Structure 1
Amino acid sequence: MVAIKEYRITNNCTVEEYQVAQLYAVAQASKNETGGGEGVEVRKNEPYDDDKGKGQYTYKVYHLASRLPSYISKIAPASALELHEEAWNGYPYCKTVLTNPFMGKNFKIIYETQHVGNDRGQLENALNAPPEVLKNRKVVHIDVANDKPDKYKPEEDPTKFKSTKTERGPLQGEWMKTCEPVMTCYKLVTAEFIWFGMQGLVETFIHKTVLQLFLSFHRQLFCWTDQWYGMTIQDIRDLEAQTAKELEEVSHL
């Protein structure tokens, strides 16, 4: 059975602010993860207007060799050491699909996200999922302040950060019940790994990894408030273009 979980992540910002914050944080994370021929390769970043709707399309390749045990990276084919990501950002709804060339149709992770303003994570079906999905879905609430990441960084701790530009924070106690402004990301994640004897184990590992990624990313996002606050979407597009250029240069070092 395919593993389906819906992650609900409440944030101390507006929906409009979150769009800028998310794109800013993604660009910064891409730079931090790239170097020496490894990391993130941006192949496409362009507007789309088709049967999927209207928004921004990105196609990225994540090179993973250095993140795997050396004995695996030495014997595995190059296509097994890559994750390909296609994303359709038609904000406030977004869809992302992760695949692996080596696994082909046997591996896929699908993220569907709905961003809802003035919301604290209580909508029963924000993504309008069909009954068969709801039947198998498990809901996971993420508290970006009080949930502890695997790798703790004091500079990315929302319980200690206070924004000088917005005076938001620190996020403490039952902050999700009272913070203003507020919005929630509803992320429906479907993980599929078809490999006899390993499917359940790998899909469980995928969701554990996804949980930590979402938690760490949104802790960063809040603690970087003074960096992204006040930026426009055009500022972000300019930053993305510069980041893509820098990633291309660094990847060839």
Structure 2
Amino acid sequence: MVEEEAWNAYPYTKTRYTCPFVEKFYLEIETYYFPDNGHQDNVFKLSSSDLRNRIVDVIDVVKDQLHGADYVKEEDPLYYVSEKSGRGPLTQNWLEEYWEEVKGKQQPLPNGKALMCAYKLCKVEFRYWGMQTKIERFIHDTG
């Protein structure tokens, strides 16, 4: 059994997962939403030590494609065009192109373009002697 607590104060949210049977464990995800391309370096105001130890993983819906049986060409952002909005397909450099177009402007633009980045900070703690480092690293690597 996993318990979830969530706080939503947009543009900031925080979600914490705990397990009553594993008292010294939690997984916490903080999120900030900004109308930008992900260029901000320290939205969570981390200490210099935490900044050095963090891993930044930029997710790009065009460049981070599915492979094999999970890939569906009709859902590929390089080919997909929305019937409702007419937007799409995206280009390989869509993120930079969108940012240049929307930077400093009220979004969405009259043409419907908008850009938002969800900055996520994931923390995990597993305070059991002899297993803490290995379990925390495993969760970070697979999460």
TM-score class, shorter-chain normalisation, is 0.7 to 0.9
- Structure 1 residues 83 and 170: alpha-carbon distance in aligned structure 2, compared to 1, 3 A threshold: farther
Indicate conservation of the 8 Å contact 1:146/1:172, yes or no: no
Percent of aligned pairs with the same residue?
Answer: 41
1:84 and 1:98 in contact (8 A); partners too: yes
Give runs of aligned pairs for residues 58-137 of structure 1, distance below 5 A: 82-104=1-23, 106-117=24-35, 119-137=36-54
Q: Deviations over 1:44-91 (max 9, x none)?
A: xxxxxxxxxxxxxxxxxxxxxxxxxxxxxxxxxxxxxx2211111111
Length, aligned pairs only: 127
If the length of structure 1 is used for normalisation, what is the TM-score?
Answer: 0.45
More helix by share: 1
User: Post-superposition shift, 1:107?
Assistant: 0.9
In 1, Cα distance between equivalents of 2:70 and 2:130: 34
Hey, what's the Cα distance between the residues in 2 that align with 1:112 and 1:162? 32
1:165 corresponds to which residue?
84
Distance 1:153 1:124, change over 3 A: same
Structure 1 residue runs of 5 or longer lacking an equivalent are: 1-81, 211-253
Separation of aligned partners in 1, 2:75 and 2:28: 27
Structure 1 residues 90 and 169, CA gap change in structure 2 (3 angstroms): same
Moved >6 Å (runs of 4+): none
In 2, Cα distance between equivalents of 1:173 and 1:160: 11
Query: What CA distance in whole angstroms lies between the structure 2 residues aligned with 1:116 and 1:185?
Result: 7
CA gap 1:95/1:157 in 2 versus in 1, 3 angstroms: same
Query: Map of 1:213-232 to 2, 5 A cutoff?
Result: none
- The gaps in structure 2 that reach 5 residues or longer are 99-112
Which residue number in structure 2 is paired with residue 214 of structure 1?
none
Is 1:175 paired with 2:87? no
8 A contact 1:97–1:109 mirrored in 2: yes
Structure 2 CA distance for partners of 1:168 and 1:188, relative to 1, 3 Å? same
More relative contact order in 1 or in 2 (CA 8 Å, sep 6+)?
1
> TM-score if structure 2 supplies the norm length?
0.75
Once the two structures are superposed, what CA deviation does each residue of 1:171-201 show, in whole Å capped at 9, x if it has no partner?
A: 3312111134111111011111223343333
RMSD over aligned Cα atoms: 2.3
- Deviation sequence 1:195-241 (CA, Å, 0-9, x none): 3343333223322443xxxxxxxxxxxxxxxxxxxxxxxxxxxxxxx
